[in-house]
Chains A and B, each alone.
Chain A
């Protein structure tokens, strides 16, 4: 099973600033990695797949990068609606599909 590790657990950022979230895989997942956003009381929403492809309707301020075992989600200028929990997920080796433990982006 591939273990996904996200850092930091919590990121405190001011509106308008850049946020950088990291995700590491225990073995290579190529670019078979997705990022999801989850707000309180809501289901997760797909942001990025293929490590860097934005899903339909996702603003350009969200970008993903990386391959192999190291990945980054960058939010270029945080808006109020971006404060949420973000999860990475690998789909290179399955089953099981595995998620990181999440990074909470909170208002500084």
Chain B
């Protein structure tokens, strides 16, 4: 069974930093593209960042470009999101999600971790 478990969320002041982690199990992690998505309280879903299976291709949403950095450690079956210069509008539940191996939708999601940016 595929499991994705996020951690690292919490309360941070505007301008601060936070590092999210996603631990993967039940899959050959190194074979899959991975993504971070987020959902602000009471709002819809927003894709944040993509990293290819090898880490050679990386994309970001314009809203986080230059502030967030996605990375992965295939030896440790882990995905990361380094978030710097955080703003109030970054407050959201952050999900890691696997990219489907056959198309480009998101076929498995973690349960999410809440990031709150507030003074």
Contacts and interface: CB of A to CB of B under 8 A. Distances in A.
B61 A96 contact: yes
Interface string A26-64: 000000101010100011111001100001000000000
Given A49-B103, A94-B104, A95-B50, A87 B44 contact: yes
Contacts of A97: 35, 47, 50, 104, 106
A38 B61 CA distance: 22
A87 B106 CA distance: 12
Interface residues of A, number: 24
A101 B35 CA distance: 19
Given A43-B109, A44-B109, A95 B47 contact: yes
A46 B109 CA distance: 9
Contacts of B35: 97
Interface of A: 32, 34, 36, 38, 42-46, 49-50, 55, 87, 89, 91, 94-102
Given A42-B111, A43-B111, 10 more contacts: A34-B105, A36-B106, A43-B109, A46-B106, A55-B107, A89-B106, A94-B104, A95-B61, A100-B44, A102-B45
By Cβ-Cβ distance, the 7 closest A-B pairs, closest first, are A91-B104, A34-B105, A43-B109, A95-B59, A97-B47, A99-B45, A49-B105
11 contacts: A36-B45, A43-B109, A43-B111, A44-B45, A46-B105, A46-B107, A89-B45, A94-B59, A97-B104, A99-B46, A99-B47
